Amino acid sequence: MKTFEARHWTFLGLLVVVAGAMILNIKLDMRVSPYTQRLYDCIDSLPDGSVLIVSFDHEASSLPEIRPIAQSVLRHTFKKGHKLIGVSLLAEGTLIGYRLMQETAREYGRVYGVDYVYLGFRPQYIAAILAMGESIGTTYPLDYLGRPYGQFELTRSVKNYDDVAAVLSIADGSLTTHWIEYGQARYGVRVLGAVTAAMVTTYDPYLSSGQMYAMMGGLRGAAEYEKLLAVSGGGARGMLAQSSAHLYIILLIALGNILYFASRKKGRGA
């Protein structure tokens, strides 16, 4: 039988740390960052009944992180009574987005066609973003379930970005960049982002320049948003596991460096 090597122990350690944190399920209090606060304030300050496009620009692989992020913002928009038009620029995000919108709308008793409509996927994201700037109804003649765009009370009054308060891109990659470069730069639509932690620094320059109006990132952002909404969700639940994993990695880095400097000292002494 093959013996355990150092890396196997590190794998096992991570498993124990994350599983332990999930089982303990302790809620940690946290400071709300100015980034998350800005997104919250932006959605909160929109007049009730404002129309937002929510774009599910992510894949299935990031679902554990994306779900709490999306749920927290969707809860806020539905709670405020905003009207949502759901789209997806990645095929894999289509089903997830549909499911998330349905679930969250049901929580707040929102009605399909009146409070929200889901249009689904369009190939070639740049062309889709630009085409929606001209006419959403022409880009999406039918909704996700095959009903005509003009059939719904909500979509009848929405021609293009001029009738939309903001676009919220829920992303795990660089697709939000295209909303900024084509939606914001070309048509002047306000772009908001709800992105995975790994993508936060990618959007910092756009946030700083004002091309992206507000953004929240990662599980931490979702947990902060849940705190602002005073609801319990996956963000806060996942934070303990993520924080424990981060602490474990910090300890591993420290241990690795201690062993490295000890071996160097030993080498010089010999």
Partner 1 sequence: MGRKLPLFICFIFGLVMFAQYFSAHPTARALNQAILDYWQIVFAFTLIVGVFSYLKNNMTEMSRNKDTVYRAVGLLGFLSMPVFALIWGIKADTPFMWTFENVQAPMQSTVFALLAFFVASASFRGFRARSFPAAVLLISALLMLLSRSNIGGFFSDGLPQVADWIRNYPSMAARRAILIGIGLGSLTTSLRVIVGIERTWLGGDK
**Can you say how many angstroms the Cα of residue 58 is from the centroid of all Cα atoms in its chain?**
8
Q: Applying CB under 8 A, does 257 fall inside the site for partner 1?
A: yes
- Helical H runs in 135-270? 136-139, 153-156, 175-178, 185-187, 200-209, 218-229, 234-269
CB of 75 to partner 1, least distance (A): 20
Does position 14 interact with partner 1 (CB under 8 A)? The reply is yes
Of 125 and 152, which CB lies nearer to partner 1 in the complex structure?
Answer: 125
In the chain, count of helices (H) and strands (E)?
12, 6
71 beta partners = none
Q: Are 85 and 110 in contact (CB under 8 A)?
A: no
Question: Using CB under 8 A, which of 142, 253, 262, 265 touches partner 1?
Answer: 253
| Least separation in angstroms between CB 244 and partner 1 | 8
Q: Does the footprint of partner 1 cover residue 68 (CB under 8 A)?
A: no
> Token pair for residue 143?
């909704």
Please answer whether residues 170 and 56 qualify as being in contact, where contact means their C-beta atoms are separated by less than 8 angstroms: yes
The reply on whether position 266 binds partner 1 by CB under 8 A is no
Using CB under 8 A, list all residues that contact partner 1.
6-7, 10-11, 13-14, 18, 28, 30-31, 33, 59-64, 92, 95-96, 99, 102, 122-124, 127-128, 130-131, 134-135, 138-139, 145, 186, 197, 200-202, 204-205, 208, 218, 220, 223, 239-240, 242-243, 245-250, 252-253, 255-257, 260
